[in-house]
């Protein structure tokens, strides 16, 4: 069976024509996964395959025949990041051997929403272990359970993280869409460097219950796909009030019933976009792609406000790290208490496990962030409360809110990642070469990245971000840009960039 890079809508057309069934589509993806992810280029983007996927697909095919489809996700194969609970035969481990064997007692809220919509869970994706919150020099895409994920465009290049496997699997056409999760950059950065669309929603639009946490002040799941339309389709399914996640109460009346209604090819006309110049200057190739993108935005009718008085705020990382250390300890301990099949019962247990199994777990980098988090007190500590207030002040009051108000903007634009993907280096770790994810992440505001071009065959993404619950507008701007430019092309699995 041929397996083109079909969108959700195109797959549904194949179902309606009876050219495909959910079973034949899942079989084709599983075959491609075996050839491309496990053998071939050895992308290592998928940790485990759902052994029940074909049975579920057969049930959904029968239901379609008898009752018709439930909606646009009926029979669509989806991969989920390995931090999202599924009450089935698949584990949820955050890529860590310490959580090997952790079978969730119930679905995460968003997993339930996807199942109800007719999605088929094809498997769990590899990720940067503990969501890139184990060491200050971790290598994105590496986990002790799954090894190193590789960028499908150039195989010795870093896939970014922590939703590395989700991004790579979508880019390499191992699924139709995937679900990632972000605390700071973990959806948008891997989406950018793997040439796909990724949306980090407003914190509170999508429930986090049943997900391995980092920091509830910033954590959110979000869709990753090859097109903006597919991202809009999946986001519509993911949203909803969850009594187990009280922050979702804040979304009442703010979510769009169907985000596909926001997709307008003329959606950039008259829109005021502020250029965050502080995120430029890391690489001349990325900057050239951004300058061309701005010309394309103007040609599509946008008003470019350049530059915007908007700073990267060099001290942003200090209060954010403090907040993450406190919240990681508290929220992980809470998660483990609710998961009796996990062999570790606390963050302290995780640290001890890693020490005992250091040869397998820590061959390249250590766990100093876990150890620093363990030293923190509870969430009533003055240090935590001060860090949380400072994060909100810097990212919201003195950051996005101020820039939007002073320049009368509809959104802010910037290069998603400061440079094209750098080479994989497990010994030294990731290079810190810029990117615009932190301010939207700390503010808890939405952020979407869309393919904008290439540098030496490596994808470059354009970011749009704005205030809370502006997902509909951001999708409209990204869709109009995507339709005008068609910048993305499929990866070619090049081994390396020849000098």
pLDDT tens track for 46-57 = 999 999 999 999
For residue 13, give both structure tokens: 């057309």
Q: Classify burial at 36, counting beta carbons within 10 Å of its beta carbon; exposed 0-12, middle 13-18, buried 19 or more.
A: buried
Choice among 135, 143, 160, 162 that is catalytic: 162
Please indicate whether residue 96 is annotated as part of the active site: no
Q: Which CATH superfamily is domain 8-485 in?
A: Amidase signature (AS) domain (3.90.1300.10)
User: What does the pLDDT read at residue 432?
Assistant: 83
Question: What SS3 state is found at 15?
Answer: helix
pLDDT digits (tens, 9 = 90+) for 262-303: 999 999 999 999 999 999 999 999 999 999 999 999 999 999
Does an H or E element contain 12, and which?
A: helix 8-16
In whole angstroms, give the CA distance from residue 180 to residue 361: 23
- Please report the pLDDT score of residue 313 as a whole number: 56
The pTM of this model reads 0.98
pLDDT at 456: 97
Whether the CB-CB separation of 457 and 497 falls below 8 Å is answered with yes
Question: Cα-atom radius of gyration of the chain, to the nearest Å?
Answer: 21
Given the residues 140, 143, 186, 437, the one annotated as active site: 186
Distance, CA of 18 to CA of 12 (rounded, Å): 10
**Residues of the chain scoring pLDDT < 50:** none
Marked catalytic residue, from 81, 124, 329, 376: 81
Give the residue carrying structure tokens 């250029």.
275
- Helices marked H in 33-123: 53-67, 109-116
Is residue 89 within 8 Å of residue 50, measured between CB atoms? yes
> What string of DSSP letters covers 331-384?
HHHHHHHT-TT-S--SHHHHHHHHHHTHHHH-SS---HHHHHHHT---TTSHHH
Asked if 261 is an active-site residue, the reply is no
**Distance from C-alpha of 27 to C-alpha of 33, rounded to nearest angstrom:** 10
Answer yes or no: 81 catalytic.
Answer: yes
pLDDT tens sequence across 347-365 = 999 999 999 999 999 999 9
């Amino acid at each position: 069976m041929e397996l083109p890079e079909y969108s959700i809508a195109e797959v549904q057309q194949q179902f309606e024509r009876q050219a495909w069934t959910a079973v034949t589509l899942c079989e084709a993806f599983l075959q491609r996964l075996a050839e491309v992810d496990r053998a071939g280029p050895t992308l290592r983007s998928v940790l485990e395959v759902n052994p029940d996927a074909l049975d579920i697909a057969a049930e959904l095919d029968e239901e379609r025949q008898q009752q018709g489809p439930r909606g646009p996700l009926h029979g669509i194969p989806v991969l989920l990041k390995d931090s999202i609970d599924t009450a089935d035969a698949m584990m949820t481990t955050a890529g860590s051997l310490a959580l090997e064997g952790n079978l969730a007692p119930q679905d995460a809220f968003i997993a339930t929403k996807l199942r109800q919509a007719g999605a088929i869970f094809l498997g769990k994706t590899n990720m940067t272990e503990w969501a890139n919150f184990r060491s200050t020099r971790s290598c994105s895409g590496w986990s002790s359970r799954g090894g190193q994920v590789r960028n499908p465009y150039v195989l010795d290049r870093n896939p970014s993280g922590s939703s590395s496997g989700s991004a790579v699997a979508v880019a390499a056409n191992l699924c139709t869409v995937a679900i990632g999760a972000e605390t700071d950059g973990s959806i948008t950065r891997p989406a950018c460097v793997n040439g796909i669309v990724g949306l980090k929603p407003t914190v509170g639009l999508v429930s986090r219950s049943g997900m391995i946490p980092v920091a509830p002040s910033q954590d959110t799941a979000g869709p990753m796909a090859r097109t903006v339309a597919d991202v809009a389709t999946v986001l519509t399914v993911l949203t909803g009030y969850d009594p187990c996640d009280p922050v979702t109460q804040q979304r009442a009346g703010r979510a769009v019933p169907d985000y596909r209604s926001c997709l307008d090819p003329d959606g950039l006309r008259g829109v005021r976009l502020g250029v965050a110049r502080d995120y430029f200057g890391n690489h001349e190739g990325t900057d050239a792609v951004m300058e061309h993108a701005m010309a394309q935005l103007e040609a599509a009718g946008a008003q470019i406000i350049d530059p915007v008085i908007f700073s990267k705020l060099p001290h942003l990382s200090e209060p954010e790290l403090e907040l993450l250390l406190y919240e990681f300890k508290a929220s992980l301990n809470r998660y483990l208490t609710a998961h009796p099949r996990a062999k570790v019962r606390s963050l302290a247990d995780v640290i001890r496990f890693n020490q005992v199994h250091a040869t397998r777990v820590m061959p390249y980098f250590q766990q100093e962030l876990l150890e620093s988090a363990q030293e923190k007190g509870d969430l009533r500590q003055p240090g935590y409360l001060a860090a949380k207030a400072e994060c909100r002040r810097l990212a919201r009051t003195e950051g996005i809110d101020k820039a939007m108000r002073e320049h009368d903007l509809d959104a802010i634009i910037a290069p998603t990642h400061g440079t094209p993907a750098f080479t994989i280096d497990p010994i030294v770790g990731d290079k810190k070469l810029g990117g615009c994810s932190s301010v939207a992440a700390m503010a808890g505001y939405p952020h979407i990245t869309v393919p904008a071009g290439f540098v030496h065959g490596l994808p470059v993404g354009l970011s749009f971000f704005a205030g809370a619950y502006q997902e509909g507008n951001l999708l409209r701007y990204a869709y109009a840009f995507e339709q005008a430019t068609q910048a993305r092309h499929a990866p070619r699995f090049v081994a390396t960039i020849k000098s």
